[in-house]
C-alpha cells in the first residue's frame, strides 16, 4: 500500500512536471507571462509555507523579501552584473534580514508577531519609496536585462518561462530536502509543541530563526526572478497587499503541505484569468469562491484532496487501542 502510494506520488509529480513543460507551448506571450508569474509566486509561497506552514510562525512580510531580492538583483544587473551572480547576493541579504526579523518571534507569537512582520513590510515599502537615490522612489527601476546563458537566451517569454521552471524545480528539490531532513522534523515540532520540542533537545530559538531566514531567502529568490520577468519594479509591487496575497496562496493551497503553495499560487494567479470571461463580475466570483473554500476547507485544496481520498479509498486502519490485546502485546 505504501509502495503504491509512493509510486502514485512519483507518477503525479512526473505528470505535473510534464504539464508544466507543455502548458505554454502554442500560447501567446500574455499566457506565458501569467504562467511564469505562477511559478515565481509559487517559490515565494513555498518560502512562506516553510515559515508558517511547517514551523508555525506567522509572517506578513513575504512581499518585502521579494522586494529585497528584486531590488538587489535589479541594482546589480543594471550595474552590469550577471543575474547568476546578483541573485545569490539578494538571497544572502534576505537570509540575513530574515534572521533578524526572526528575533521578535522569540518573544512574541500569534497576532502580535503578525503585527511585527506587518510593520516590517511597511518599513521596507517606505524605504523603497523614500530612498530615491538608490531605488528610484515611486518611479522604480526599469530596463533590467534578462540573463543569457551562452546559446540559451531568455529574452523570449517562452525561454524565460523554461528558465524560471528550471529554477522552480531546483528550489522545490532543495525545499523537499529541507522538510524531509531532521530540520523539517524540528520545524514541525516547533509548530506543534515548542515546549516539548525544547525539552527534547531541539534548540527552538535557532530553529525559529532558521524558519524565518530560509523562508525569506525563498521570497528573495522569487524577487530575483520578478526583476527580469517584468523588467520594471516599483515599491507598490511589494506592499502589504502582496504579502497578504502570498499568505492567501499558502492558506488556499494547504498550509504545511509540500504542494500546497503551487496549488494556492495557481488559484490566486490563474483563477482570476480563467474568470475574466465573466467581465465585471470576476473579482466578486473569485472572492466568493475563496471565502467558501476557506470556510468549508480550512486545510486548503490539498486538505480537500485528502478528505476526498479518505472518502473514496478509506484506509484500512482501526484505532490502535481497539486492536485485540493491544495493551498486553
Partner 1 sequence: MNMPILSVRNIEKSFGGIRAVRDVSFDVQKGEILGLIGPNGSGKSTLFNCILGQLKPEKGEVEVQGRKVSGLRASQLNKLGVGRTFQQLSVFPKMSVLDNIILAGQEHHGSMLSRLFGPSDAGLTEAAERLISFFRLDHLRDTLAGSLSYGQQKLVDAAMAFMAGPSLVLLDEPAGGVNLTMLAHLKERLVAYNAEHGTTFVVIEHNMEFVMSLCTRVIVLAEGEVIAEGTPAEIRANPKVIDAYLGGGA
Residues near partner 1 (CB under 8 A): 177-178, 180-183, 185-186, 188-189, 192-193, 195-204, 206, 256, 317, 319-321, 323, 326-329
Rounded least distance, CB 306 to partner 1, Å: 12
Rounded least distance, CB 250 to partner 1, Å: 17
Tell me whether residue 96 or residue 272 sits nearer to partner 1 (CB atom). 96
Of 130, 85, 88, 114, nearest in space to 243 by CA? 114
Tell me whether residue 153 or residue 307 sits nearer to partner 1 (CB atom). 307
Rounded least distance, CB 193 to partner 1, Å: 6
224 near 90, Cβ under 8 Å?
Answer: yes
Tell me whether residue 37 or residue 204 sits nearer to partner 1 (CB atom). 204
Q: How many CA atoms lie within 13 A of 74 on its CB side?
A: 27
Rounded least distance, CB 208 to partner 1, Å: 12
Query: For residue 149, what are the β-bridge partners?
Result: 152
Give me the count of residues in the chain. 329
Tell me whether residue 279 or residue 324 sits nearer to partner 1 (CB atom). 324
User: CB-based contacts of 253: which residues, under 8 Å, 6+ apart?
Assistant: 45, 49, 259, 260, 261, 262, 263, 264, 265, 266, 267, 300, 301, 302
58: left (phi over 0), alpha (psi -120 to 50) or beta: beta
Rounded least distance, CB 195 to partner 1, Å: 8
Task: Work out whether strand 152-153 and strand 232-233 pair parallel, antiparallel, or are unpaired.
Answer: unpaired
Rounded least distance, CB 122 to partner 1, Å: 33
Tell me whether residue 26 or residue 314 sits nearer to partner 1 (CB atom). 314
Rounded least distance, CB 179 to partner 1, Å: 11
Rounded least distance, CB 182 to partner 1, Å: 4
Write out the E strands in the chain.
141-142, 148-149, 152-153, 232-233
Tell me whether residue 22 or residue 195 sits nearer to partner 1 (CB atom). 195
224 near 70, Cβ under 8 Å?
Answer: yes
Rounded to the nearest angstrom, the gap between the alpha carbon of residue 179 and the centroid of all alpha carbons in its chain is 14
76 near 54, Cβ under 8 Å?
Answer: no
Query: For residue 141, what are the β-bridge partners?
Result: 233
Tell me whether residue 2 or residue 84 sits nearer to partner 1 (CB atom). 2
Of 245, 174, 208, 264, nearest in space to 52 by CA? 208
101: left (phi over 0), alpha (psi -120 to 50) or beta: alpha
Tell me whether residue 40 or residue 213 sits nearer to partner 1 (CB atom). 213
Amino acid at each position: 500500500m505504501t509502495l503504491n502510494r509512493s509510486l502514485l506520488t512519483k507518477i503525479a509529480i512526473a505528470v505535473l512536471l510534464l504539464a508544466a513543460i507543455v502548458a505554454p507551448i502554442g500560447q501567446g506571450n500574455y499566457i506565458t507571462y501569467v504562467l511564469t508569474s505562477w511559478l515565481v509566486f509559487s517559490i515565494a509561497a513555498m518560502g512562506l509555507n516553510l515559515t508558517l506552514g511547517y514551523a508555525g510562525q506567522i509572517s506578513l512580510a513575504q512581499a518585502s523579501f521579494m522586494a529585497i531580492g528584486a531590488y538587489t538583483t535589479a541594482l546589480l544587473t543594471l550595474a552590469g552584473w550577471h543575474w547568476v551572480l546578483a541573485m545569490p547576493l539578494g538571497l544572502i541579504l534576505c537570509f540575513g534580514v530574515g534572521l533578524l526579523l526572526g528575533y521578535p518571534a522569540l518573544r512574541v507569537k500569534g497576532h502580535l508577531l503578525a503585527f511585527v512582520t506587518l510593520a516590517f513590510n511597511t518599513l521596507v515599502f517606505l524605504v523603497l519609496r523614500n530612498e530615491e537615490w538608490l531605488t528610484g522612489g515611486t518611479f522604480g527601476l526599469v530596463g533590467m536585462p534578462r540573463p543569457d546563458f551562452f546559446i540559451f537566451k531568455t529574452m523570449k517569454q517562452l525561454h524565460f518561462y523554461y528558465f524560471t521552471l528550471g529554477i522552480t524545480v531546483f528550489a522545490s528539490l532543495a525545499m523537499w530536502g529541507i522538510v524531509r531532513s531532521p530540520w523539517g522534523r524540528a520545524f514541525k515540532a516547533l509548530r506543534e509543541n515548542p515546549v516539548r520540542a525544547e525539552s527534547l533537545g531541539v534548540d527552538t530559538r535557532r530553529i525559529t530563526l532558521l524558519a524565518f531566514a530560509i523562508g525569506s531567502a525563498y521570497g528573495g529568490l522569487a524577487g530575483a526572478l520578478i526583476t527580469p520577468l517584468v523588467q520594471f519594479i516599483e515599491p507598490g509591487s511589494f506592499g502589504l497587499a502582496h504579502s497578504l496575497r502570498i499568505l492567501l496562496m499558502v492558506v488556499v493551497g494547504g498550509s504545511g503541505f509540500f504542494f500546497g503553495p503551487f496549488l494556492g499560487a495557481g488559484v490566486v494567479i490563474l483563477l482570476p484569468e480563467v474568470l475574466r470571461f465573466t467581465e465585471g463580475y470576476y473579482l466578486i466570483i473569485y472572492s466568493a469562491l475563496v471565502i467558501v473554500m476557506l470556510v468549508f476547507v480550512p486545510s486548503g485544496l490539498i486538505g480537500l484532496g485528502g478528505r476526498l481520498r479518505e472518502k473514496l479509498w478509506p484506509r484500512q486502519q482501526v484505532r490502535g487501542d481497539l486492536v485485540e490485546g493491544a495493551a498486553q502485546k
